[in-house]
Structure 1
């Protein structure tokens, strides 16, 4: 188990190895649902709901599966699912008490599974050669780092004095919010709302997005949010994750059965800010998309170009250029 499995090195997306461990365990493979059965049942979903992938194919939730070693699934993935299922069952009180590493691993596993399936689609359509030749090196690097961190699901991974993610769990006013999620693979950003809680996560930012929105987060501390407010906060994270202009670099050291990960300083040699300049107009377009259920038009949101519409009394919007 000493070696580090790096699927992006050989483009291992052929369903013939465990998607997490690369078969570090000599057990047969099984197919694992990307959206676990417990979640479908808790959310009253049939599994026939549809999702559109980047290759434009339409798939049902229950057709999204990845190959997983039986040992990895039984000993590690299943207990993680049990902990998250128990927390989701208790709503905000349960989810906010979960260790962030469990949320990171669960959301990361979900996003990496979707990525695994997207990779297969891209290779099938020959948008990607089998060795990933026309995929940006930066993205491969970022996805590879996420995969290395996710190995903490089945072996010990030590993050040395840093946290690779920004994760936010907030209480919602509406106690019976219907389950929905969104993800942005390129920036590894994710949001989910369900029951009386919402989760927002940026998986590879070393906590910078959370610091970027600190003023707003301080102002909502301890308050329950309406669905519109939650989507507004999510829109800000999705947009700032897009503006984040660093590719975090890590020193990764496998020692016996443990992987030690150290973060390099984000400042690096670049003298510019960590985020590109915030533009209200672009943010308003993101917001329009997140507020679709409430029918706010772009015109309405950006009627005052210096102050986009907000569901917060004090919006604490980042400064524009």
Structure 2
């Protein structure tokens, strides 16, 4: 990996006086979640929990130290995303996916930053040293490098390091749904008009794995229960994915290039456990009162609102009677 750019995971530096992205000294800050997004959906005063559920923050209080250059770059990106957002699905679907990666990456990394700081502080109080496994250190370092593409001349060559899918979605007005998995670098976002799911460092493997259902979805406006099921499929597929992405990262006169190393060990998937998947899906469907036992009924196939379990045909969203 390039030693030219700042890498907070090399020495596990998460300090409020160092820009989270460039590492330069700063006293300026930016919010983890875009201010326009919090204002539009009025969730700034709601709380978000850390992974251990022992600590929570108001969304509007989640801030990152940043240089003026980094703040300007994300402000410019926000304007592009907001403009696309106002055009609904068509606007978001035509966005360069690198912009969606950067925009989503800001929020995922921001939450990861808080998890790192929180875990470090808890261990310090116990007199213990904060450490990360080599696998996580490598994953997060490469993710951070890719996110620096918003301010640095970084070029992605060939197949992109992420899976991002954008699709039409019908919600009641003013509802905003999002889920994240900071450790596995995943994010989902849904509003009335469109939704998208992002796996930020899987090298497109999960999208390829789910291509059959993605093809069936075309020309349909998803019901929210289908959106939740799709994210559950992506999330569980990531869980059983046995794959450590490898990259060729090179410095040149024109900047840094990042290319997927196709000679590395290919991805494979572990056993799909219906019981574990049903438990995960029930967490996403609990708003509809759908429990795990409803998803895996005795002597019957698993419940799905994406594919008919008998014919494998795509379920017409208009045939679903659940509320939006």
Gaps of 5+ in 1: none
Gaps of 5+ in 2: 314-324
Aligned to 1:19: 20
Q: 1:124 aligns with which of 115, 121, 130?
A: 121
Aligned to 1:184: 181
What's the TM-score, normalizing by structure 1? Answer: 0.90
Q: How far apart, CA to CA, are the structure 2 residues paired with 1:239 and 1:129?
A: 36
1:297 aligns with 2:288: no
1:249 shift after superposition: 1.3
Contact in 2 for aligned 1:239/1:283 (Cα 8 Å) = yes
Q: 1:62 aligns with which of 60, 63, 81?
A: 60
Which stretch has the larger CA shift, 155-164 or 258-267?
258-267
Contact in 2 for aligned 1:80/1:106 (Cα 8 Å) = yes
Query: Map of 1:273-284 to 2, 5 A cutoff?
Result: 274-284=268-278
Q: How far apart, CA to CA, are the structure 2 residues paired with 1:62 and 1:190?
A: 19
1:204 aligns with 2:204: no
Q: 1:263 aligns with which of 260, 264, 267?
A: 260
Shift in CA distance, 63/308, structure 1 to aligned 2, threshold 3 Å: same
Aligned to 1:299, what secondary structure does the other structure show? helix
Q: How far apart, CA to CA, are the structure 1 residues paired with 2:264 and 2:216?
A: 28
Q: How far apart, CA to CA, are the structure 2 residues paired with 1:179 and 1:282?
A: 27
Q: How far apart, CA to CA, are the structure 2 residues paired with 1:34 and 1:91?
A: 23
1:244 shift after superposition: 1.1
Contact in 1 for aligned 2:123/2:129 (Cα 8 Å) = no
Query: C-alpha offsets along residues 4-30 of structure 1, whole Å, 9 cap, x if unaligned?
Result: 21110011201121111112xxx7431
- Structure 1 runs of 4+ with >3 Å offset: 127-132, 313-317
Which stretch has the larger CA shift, 65-74 or 177-186?
177-186
Number of paired residues? 308
What's the TM-score, normalizing by structure 2? Answer: 0.89
Query: C-alpha offsets along residues 184-236 of structure 1, whole Å, 9 cap, x if unaligned?
Result: 11211111111211111101100000010111111111211100011110100
Q: How far apart, CA to CA, are the structure 1 residues paired with 2:111 and 2:60?
A: 12
Instruction: Please give the root-mean-square deviation of Cα atoms over the aligned residues, in Å.
Output: 2.3
Q: How far apart, CA to CA, are the structure 1 residues paired with 2:301 and 2:130?
A: 43
Shift in CA distance, 302/177, structure 1 to aligned 2, threshold 3 Å: farther
